[in-house]
């Protein structure tokens, strides 16, 4: 399963958004109706799921799903997310 598919499943489970409505271009606040607390919870879950630390200065720049994907692609090895 791709990193995007894993992330989409996580967002869908936490925020109750149908997976087919989550695209890389989706804005966390505007399109997915996330508030700052739900984004913080998602960041914590992403850290656990993908075994990465996400510094606040990085996560404060996350506005779209693609922003998260770009960060994860630089941090996560294929073995970490392929096995989950």
CA atoms within 13 A on the CB side of 18: 2
Q: Which fold has domain 3-82?
A: 1.10.1200
Residue 77: its pLDDT value, please? 66
Residue 83: its pLDDT value, please? 45
Report the distance separating Cα 84 and Cα 79, nearest Å.
Answer: 9
Asked whether the beta carbons of 7 and 68 are under 8 A apart, the reply is yes
Calculate helix-pair angle for 3-15, 36-50, nearest 10 degrees.
140
| Closest to 26 in 3D by CA, of 47, 60, 52, 18 | 18
Token duo for residue 23? 């695209």
* Owner of token pair 């966390």: 28
pLDDT in tens, 2-26: 999 999 999 999 999 999 999 999 9
Residues in the chain: 84
Mean pLDDT split into 10-residue runs, the chain, 84 residues: 94 97 98 96 95 91 96 73 46
């Amino acid at each position: 399963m791709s990193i995007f598919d894993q992330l989409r499943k996580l967002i869908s489970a936490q925020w109750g958004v149908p997976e087919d409505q989550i695209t890389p271009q989706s804005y966390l606040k505007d399109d997915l109706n996330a508030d700052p607390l739900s984004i913080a919870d998602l960041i914590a879950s992403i850290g656990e799921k993908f075994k990465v630390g996400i510094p606040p200065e990085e996560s404060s720049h996350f506005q779209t799903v693609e922003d998260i994907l770009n960060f994860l692609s630089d941090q996560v090895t294929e073995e970490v997310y392929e096995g989950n």
